[in-house]
Amino acid sequence: MKHFHSKLFTPGPVEVRPEILLAMATPQIHHRSPECADLYAELQPKLKKFLYTDQTVFLFTSSSTGAMEAAVQNTVRKKCLNLVNGAFAGRWHQITQACGLPCEALEVPWDKAIKPEQVEEKLSTGEFDAVTLVYNETSTGMLNPLPEIAEVVHRFPDVMLLVDAVSAMGGVKIEFDRLGLDVLLAGVQKAIALPPGLTICAVSDRALKRAEEVKPKTYYFSFPVMLKYHNKNQTPSTPSTAHMFALNAQLDAMFAEGLERRFARHEEMASLVQAWAKEKFDIYPEEGYWSKTLTCVVNTRGIDVAALNKTLVEEHGMRIANGYGDLKEKTFRIAHMGDLTTADIRGLLATIDMILGI
């Protein structure tokens, strides 16, 4: 197999530091051994600090989509409102339907953020007991106004707020308890900068209580089953212990950097790409809601995005992402997340300018 490494400026999977890859190569431990329980227990306070929570944080050996299924299956009793302004938000709706749960999509144009008033209007009908939101929509580079939406949802005490923070967690501060979220999930292959295969999922006490009442029709993704093992510092089934070692090392590295500094670095990288994109092209989402972890650039110059990426990969060892789905070639996406630095970003932008002669 032809294989050469390109530095990933894609919105997941992302570049993983060699130290983390080495942590994954830690000799195997048995998942029912005291060593594994110790590792699980060591991770817990770190995960709580990382998500600003005193509540429960589960680890799923699955990608984010699995935890999205878990979220709706464990919390929807009446009907779920799926807030849809992008591809992954649409996936929440597909998942909720596939699980056979009553649901309705609130569709908003993809270049527009979900507005709190729109959510309030829907919830006022009293039909719903759960809402799904994608905080950072990876298909469009949109950062939806989570704190404002959470405030509205809290006016409806029966409604659970389920948040996909897949491409935000680790790059943007998300205070789980202060925001009063019920489920907050993210696969680790984005701003947390680990290889794909593990998902972090914070669950509120009231969502755990709801799950007991709902009796989810799933075993692998059942919160009550997860909780039983979590209380013994275990997972119900064999976890990716390699990921647990890597996560432990990466959380330590994040605290060594400082979470606030990490978020500031993401802001700085975002500002660089946004300024470049505004000058040379345009930015897809409406202003005021631009993502801190990736920028979706409108291809106003009509460049051949696939050709640009081919040159980047083959001649410069860098890879960006084309637009998602129907937005392919009409947009392209530059990720500025994880352990990338402003120097990496400057290098990428200068290289694109050189290739395009702009």
Binding site for ligand PLP (CB under 6 A): 12, 63-65, 88, 134, 138, 164, 166-167, 187
Distances from the Cα of 307 to the Cα of 141, 311, 329, angstroms: 22, 6, 10
Shortest separation between residue 33's beta carbon and ligand PLP, angstroms: 28
71 vs 150 by CB, closer to ligand PLP:
71
143 vs 203 by CB, closer to ligand PLP:
143
Shortest separation between residue 197's beta carbon and ligand PLP, angstroms: 9
Distances from the Cα of 272 to the Cα of 136, 261, 267, 300, angstroms: 19, 17, 9, 19
Rounded Cα distance, 212 and 279, in Å: 53
Rounded Cα distance, 352 and 11, in Å: 17
Shortest separation between residue 86's beta carbon and ligand PLP, angstroms: 8
What are 287's two structure tokens?
A: 């202003």
Rounded Cα distance, 170 and 218, in Å: 29
Rounded Cα distance, 109 and 71, in Å: 25
Q: 143 - beta bridge partners?
A: 136
User: Which residue reads 């392919």 in tokens?
Assistant: 328
36 vs 240 by CB, closer to ligand PLP:
240
Contacts of 279 (CB under 8 A, 6+ apart): none
Shortest separation between residue 327's beta carbon and ligand PLP, angstroms: 14
Shortest separation between residue 88's beta carbon and ligand PLP, angstroms: 4
User: Which residue reads 């830690």 in tokens?
Assistant: 26
Shortest separation between residue 78's beta carbon and ligand PLP, angstroms: 24
**Residue 232: CB atoms within 10 Å:** 11
Rounded Cα distance, 15 and 340, in Å: 8
Name the pairing type of β-strands 103-107 and 294-298: unpaired
Rounded Cα distance, 244 and 264, in Å: 26
111 vs 164 by CB, closer to ligand PLP:
164
**Considering all CA atoms of the chain, what is the largest pairwise distance in Å, rounded to the nearest integer?**
61
User: Which residue reads 């942590």 in tokens?
Assistant: 23
Shortest separation between residue 212's beta carbon and ligand PLP, angstroms: 26
Handedness of CA 322, 325, 329, 330 (dihedral sign): negative
Shortest separation between residue 191's beta carbon and ligand PLP, angstroms: 11
User: Which residue reads 């295969």 in tokens?
Assistant: 197
C-alpha closest to that of 160 among 107, 213, 86: 213
129 vs 164 by CB, closer to ligand PLP:
164
61 vs 167 by CB, closer to ligand PLP:
167
Shortest separation between residue 64's beta carbon and ligand PLP, angstroms: 4
